[in-house]
Structure 1
Amino acid sequence: MIEHAKNEGQLRLMLNAVFSPFNCYGLQDYIPGAIEEVITLADVYVARENGIDIPYPEPRIKNGIKG
């Protein structure tokens, strides 16, 4: 079984690749914040799938997700 830190690191690398086209539009400052949001949502999703009923957090986009 892959340890959590390694698994999260691999997910971050993949998300960085997915978001890389946004660099072309000058949005590179927003990519780290967006990745953090996706990781948080993925953690909650996995917990809920495993029977742990925790609420989804309020989106930080209201305050901006820049880095």
Structure 2
Amino acid sequence: MCDVFDLDELDYSDGLSAEVIEEWDSLSHIRFIVAVEKRFGFRFSSAEIEGFSKVGDLVDSIAAHIG
């Protein structure tokens, strides 16, 4: 997340969202999703991506994909 959003540090929580991280815009959102997909070796469906409103939603989806 720090690399994608160009942050020096980040206090992680499942509730992080675009409203909390000023650098989180539509382009960085796409870069973030692509980075996660590359790191874990799978692709999210469009419906999954649309359902991500906070980082915790993304984490839950990753866990479901990797079992």
- The verdict on a shared fold, with TM-score over 0.5 as the criterion, is no
Instruction: Please report the TM-score for the alignment, with normalisation by the length of structure 2.
Output: 0.32
Instruction: Please report the TM-score for the alignment, with normalisation by the length of structure 1.
Output: 0.32
Task: Choose between structure 1 and 2 for higher RCO, CA contacts under 8 A separated by at least 6 residues.
Answer: 2
Greater C-alpha radius of gyration: 1
